[in-house]
Amino acid sequence: MEGLVLRSTGSFYDVLAKDGSKVVCRVRGKLRLEGFKESNPIAVGDRVEYTLDHDVGVITSILPRENHILRQSVKKTGHAHVLAANVDQALLVVTIALPRTSLGFIDRFLVTAESFRVPQVLVFNKRDLLDAESLEYQEAVMDIYQTIGVEVLSLSALTDDIEPLKKILYGKTTLIAGHSGVGKSTILNKLDPRINQKVGEISEYLAKGVHTTTFAEMFDLGNNTFVIDTPGIKEWGLVDMNAQELSDYFPEMRDLRLECKLGSRCLHINEPKCAIIPAVENGTIAPTRYDSYLKMLSGEDSRK
């Protein structure tokens, strides 16, 4: 039988059967011994084959993925952690304050999604908490990402109508990620009260969110619309990207890099007749984006 993985706890999986029922499944042991370099070989969004062993399902195989989103595993060196599989878009909820989402973290998320050819959306939440100066800064940041083709939306999950967000999500499977405390759970509960995710508080001392979501979980919003909630993410480590390919995942650089004298060998640092550096100097490429690129290239931590 075939099903869709809705929830993973690491040991057991909630699988949506074709008849609409949910089956609790475990993994056949052999699946974990087939050379996976992923800390979780089965992810939410995976389509799987399973059999029934009394009242418990046994996942016997994973059907081919259309795509997946992963980041470097925090717990296992050399392994990747798959956040979700078979998604149509990746949405990052960010906040300018309480807690602050750094541009470096945003860029790592976008680069990862771009590397898997997954369209990206940025939702700037908690607009109601910003003063005039902060709102102006947020508008400038949003403009940076709109310019490179990322869909952006500003809202307050507490006070605003979220119909514009529903239109972005409609008919698609969307991975939703972000730091703890940015309002993912509040947004999800407003999309559909049946989701009923626990809402956390912000630590006044650290100005950071308190984790409320423990495991990734997919929710059916109807009309072939699914959202995948993920645990709050502190760090976003890149996986298997070499120096030569990194600029391919910055759309504004990808369009220009072929004009570099050294072509694909140019790392856009100080090479002669590089097309990227002048574009940064004249403002065609945002300096903050170029700074993120250099930090990723050097391996410097820009995740927080």
Residues 121, 151: contact at Cβ < 8 Å? yes
The token pair that represents 105 in the structure block: 């973290």
Cβ neighbour number for residue 52 with a 10 Å cutoff: 11
The token pair that represents 296 in the structure block: 């990723």
CA dist 247 and 217 (Å) reads 32
Q: Which class would CATH give 69-229?
A: alpha beta
Q: List the domain boundaries for the chain.
A: 2-64, 69-229, 243-298
Place of tokens 């759309």: 251
Question: Is pTM beyond 0.85 here?
Answer: yes
Superfamily of domain 2-64: Nucleic acid-binding proteins (2.40.50.140)
CA neighbor of 120 nearest in space, from 94, 157, 139:
94
Predicted confidence (pLDDT) at residue 73 exceeds the cutoff of 50: yes
As a whole number of Å, the CA-based R_g of the chain is 20
Place of tokens 């057991």: 12
Percent of the chain with pLDDT over 90: 61
Q: Examine domains 2-64 and 69-229 and report if their fold is the same.
A: no
The DSSP output letter for 83 is: E
pLDDT in tens, 142-187: 999 999 999 999 999 999 999 999 999 999 999 999 988 899 989 9
Hey, what CATH topology would domain 243-298 get? Ribonucleotide Reductase Protein R1; domain 1 (1.10.40)
pLDDT in tens, 203-258: 343 344 444 444 789 999 989 999 999 876 655 667 667 888 999 999 999 989 88
